[in-house]
Amino acid sequence: MGEADEAFVQAIEHRPKLSVTEDEGIPLIDLSPLSFPNDANTKNIDDLVVEIGNACKKWGFFQVINHGAPLEKRQKVEDAMRKFFAQPLEEKRKVRKDEKKAVGYYDNEHTKNVRDWKEVFDFVADKRILMAASHEPEDKEVPETFNQWPDYPPELRESCEEYAREVEKLAYKLMELIALSLGLPASRFSSFFEDPTRSVRLNHYPPCPAPHLALGVGRHKDVGALTILAQDDVGGLEVKRKSDGEWVRIKPTSDAYIINVGDILQVWSNDVYESVEHRVTVNSEKERFSIPFFFSPPHCTMVKPLGELTNEQNPAKYRAYNLGKFLATRRQSNFKKLDVENIQISHFKVQELANELDGALSINKK
């Protein structure tokens, strides 16, 4: 990665503050009732469901401990990813992703059209990757692509695959708890996740000579249903606090996972839960590693508010959108700097449509 050239520089209003606000209020939730439901010392599942519901409403983010995913698998993948990223750029570029290869190594990602100070390695926990070929609604082509595993380190593939299997189990459990927290049957989301999309990203944020100008990842919301993130002890993930819009840092807790609501869950819940903006700050001394696991339904899903959560008084706030086409539109901006805002779920808001129509009508009246 080169010097802090202009492509990395954030607009003044998006630059990070150097003094950090660490928020103690981001809930830390103990999931032990899932592993020991009959233990008299643990809270019961109902209390856990209430805690999760409150966290999703108030923050859109929470950390979980005693989650049952073995630490050893996480350590293995962390060790392997350090070895992978420590290689020269030419080696890593052998598994580079591009417009045709959906996953692999990449060091030129832009978020909101500003380059991120990071390099990534993406893979999916599936045999193949099915993605809409383009954003054009008429284009029905869904080409298959595959993971690209590097030769070095040889253990990377197995450690990634094992890690993803463990985190996936946690993802299913969390979706059940979230369904219950919305007053739905625990299995309400299971039909969406019969053939889920499980993409995993290995993030490496190298030390940055200009941490006051650049970001590891610019502000964004996750597009999936749920994200399960492992971060190391360096810290840098900041969440936009819903109560006042302040950026607050999530304090690293060893062996915890950070969970956040993604756009799809926001739409399914008809805005009961919101996908909250977050970003990553970098620092001049320490490199940082993190591993988000993005859990989503298959690309062919039409995403729309759940019928049980809407009625005449509370109508659906979103029009249905096709997930594959949404992602294909979003992907365009990963490979080139665009001059327009990227596609967002807010573009499918029913209210927006009403406003647009109002606008059009008032123009006509003039």
Find, among 118, 139, 35, the residue nearest to 291 by Cα: 118
Q: CB-wise, 150 or 292, nearer to ligand OGA? A: 292
Residue 100 — left, alpha, or beta (φ > 0 → left; ψ -120 to 50 → alpha)?
Answer: alpha
Q: Is 263 in the site for Ni ion (CB under 5 A)?
A: no
Residues 6+ apart with CB under 8 A from 340: none
Residue 93 sits at the vertex; the CA angle it makes with 87 and 99, to the nearest 5 degrees, is 150
Q: CB-wise, 341 or 356, nearer to ligand OGA? A: 341
Q: Is 309 exposed, middle or buried (0-12, 13-18, 19+ CB in 10 A)?
A: middle
Whether residue 153 has a cis bond before it, omega within 30° of 0:
yes
Strand pairing report for 247-249 and 237-240: antiparallel
DSSP H or E run through 353: helix 350-365
Q: CB-wise, 254 or 364, nearer to ligand OGA? A: 254
> How many binding residues for Ni ion (CB under 5 A)?
1
CA distance 251 to 255: 12
Q: CB-wise, 114 or 237, nearer to ligand OGA? A: 237
In the chain, DSSP finds a helix count (H) and a strand count (E) of 8, 18
Q: Is 222 in the site for Ni ion (CB under 5 A)?
A: yes
Q: Is 214 in the site for ligand OGA (CB under 6 A)?
A: no
In the complex, least distance from residue 290 CB atom to ligand OGA, rounded to whole angstroms: 3
In the complex, least distance from residue 152 CB atom to ligand OGA, rounded to whole angstroms: 23
Q: Is 60 in the site for ligand OGA (CB under 6 A)?
A: no
Q: Is 109 in the site for Ni ion (CB under 5 A)?
A: no
**Binding test (CB under 6 A) with ligand OGA, winner from 202, 237, 265, 267:** 237
Q: Is 198 in the site for ligand OGA (CB under 6 A)?
A: no
Q: CB-wise, 60 or 305, nearer to ligand OGA? A: 60
How far is Cα of residue 327 from the mean position of the Cα atoms in its chain?
13
Q: Is 290 in the site for ligand OGA (CB under 6 A)?
A: yes
Are the CB atoms for 263 and 223 separated by under 8 Å? yes
Residue 290 contact, options Ni ion, ligand OGA, none, Cβ 5-8 Å cut-off depending on partner type:
ligand OGA
Instruction: Return the range that interacts with Ni ion (CB under 5 A); candidates 71-79, 106-114, 221-229, 314-322.
Output: 221-229
**Binding test (CB under 6 A) with ligand OGA, winner from 16, 104, 292, 324:** 292
Residue 282 — left, alpha, or beta (φ > 0 → left; ψ -120 to 50 → alpha)?
Answer: beta
Residue nearest to ligand OGA as judged by C-beta position = 290
Q: Which amino acid is at 319?
A: R
Instruction: Return the range that interacts with Ni ion (CB under 5 A); candidates 117-125, 149-157, 178-186, 220-228.
Output: 220-228
Instruction: Return the range that interacts with Ni ion (CB under 5 A); candidates 39-47, 100-108, 201-209, 217-225.
Output: 217-225
Residue 193 sits at the vertex; the CA angle it makes with 128 and 71, to the nearest 5 degrees, is 80
* Window 256-285: contact mask with ligand OGA (x via CB under 6 A): ----------------------x-x-----
Are the CB atoms for 328 and 315 separated by under 8 Å? no
Interface with Ni ion (CB under 5 A): 222
